[in-house]
Amino acid sequence: MKTSPIIALDFDSAEKTFAFLKAFEGDVNVKVGMQLYYKEGPAIIARLKELGYDIFLDLKLHDIPNTVKSSMEVLAGLGINLINVHAAGGKTMMEAALEGLDKGTSSGLVRPSLIGVTQLTSTDENQVREEQLISVPLQESVLHYAKLTKNSGLDGVVCSVHESAVIAEACGNEFLKVTPGIRLADSGTHDQKRIATPEEAHLAGSTHIVVGRAITGAADPRAAYEHINASWRGTK
């Protein structure tokens, strides 16, 4: 992926997606999530690729190793740049995901980077304790999943900005820290819990930021993108 913000294309149709993208040309990173992919299927990926976008396919696979492996083999053929699984699926599942990607790209396609979702940014300390029955602090749980992801051979994690620095320390600067939950100081949090500004992401060492509603819901999405990009690069 380019080192620029990844715009979450959380739209319910190709029509709305391409209307939104008119302001962006092919020079940004985009994320296709479950809503858009389930609606439009692989065709949406082919169209975005044709226009030159770098693509994060965010389907958060989490199943038995064999199912994840064979699904990844199929998805690898789409020619995407980045894809994810839930780290909670475990080491064997993550290794199987990698195997599937390798198999699906053995004809010469570039293997997409594979990252593990640690704890969703919509999760807080209380949920981890009460609903997941995890007795260690949330940051420790995220760090545990980051190390497990690294030991499984993956390229990085999805985490919140709050955990980027500690993951960099344990897993290295090159290990991807892809951070959603990005909000400007004056915007609403919606369903996110572990939020941070683009400036904070820059300081914490996030390697990528994922931004949806702060751009897609802005009155001027291109201006919002430029503002966030400059803040994240530390040039503002």
Ligand X SMILES: O=C(O)c1cc(=O)[nH]c(=O)n1[C@@H]1O[C@H](COP(=O)(O)O)[C@@H](O)[C@H]1O
Binding site as annotated, residues for substrate: 10, 31, 58-67, 121, 183, 192, 212-213
Our CB check for ligand X shows the closer of 2 and 190 to be 190
Residue 97 CA to residue 225 CA, distance in Å, equals 32
DSSP 170-231: HH-SSSEEEE--B--TTS--TT-SS-B-HHHHHHHT-SEEEESHHHHTSSSHHHHHHHHHHH
| 12 counts as catalytic | no
| 63 counts as catalytic | yes
What residue type is assigned to position 6 of the chain? I
Q: What is the DSSP letter of 235?
A: -
Q: Which residue is nearest to ligand X (CB)?
A: 212
Burial of residue 187, with CB atoms counted within 10 A of its CB: 0-12 exposed, 13-18 middle, 19 or more buried = middle
Query: Shortest gap between Cβ of 121 and ligand X (angstroms)?
Result: 4
Our CB check for ligand X shows the closer of 33 and 89 to be 33
Candidates 16, 49, 63, 102; catalytic one:
63
Query: Shortest gap between Cβ of 25 and ligand X (angstroms)?
Result: 21
Candidates 58, 150, 155, 177; catalytic one:
58
| 193 counts as catalytic | no
Query: Shortest gap between Cβ of 97 and ligand X (angstroms)?
Result: 14
Residue 57: its H or E element: strand 54-61
Query: Shortest gap between Cβ of 85 and ligand X (angstroms)?
Result: 10
Our CB check for ligand X shows the closer of 29 and 152 to be 29
What residue type is assigned to position 163 of the chain? E
Tell me which residues touch ligand X (CB under 6 A): 8, 10, 33, 58, 60, 84, 117, 120-121, 158, 180-182, 190, 192, 210-214
Contact indicator for 72, 104 with CB cutoff of 8 Å: yes
Task: Pick out the residues of the known binding site.
Answer: 10, 31, 58-67, 121, 183, 192, 212-213
Query: Shortest gap between Cβ of 62 and ligand X (angstroms)?
Result: 12
15: left (phi over 0), alpha (psi -120 to 50) or beta: alpha
Q: How far is CA 27 from CA 5, 8, 44, 51, 225, in A?
A: 11, 15, 17, 9, 12
Our CB check for ligand X shows the closer of 66 and 217 to be 217
DSSP-assigned beta bridge partners for residue 211: 7
Return the residue matching tokens 């993208």: 21
Our CB check for ligand X shows the closer of 63 and 103 to be 63
Catalytic residues: 58, 60, 63
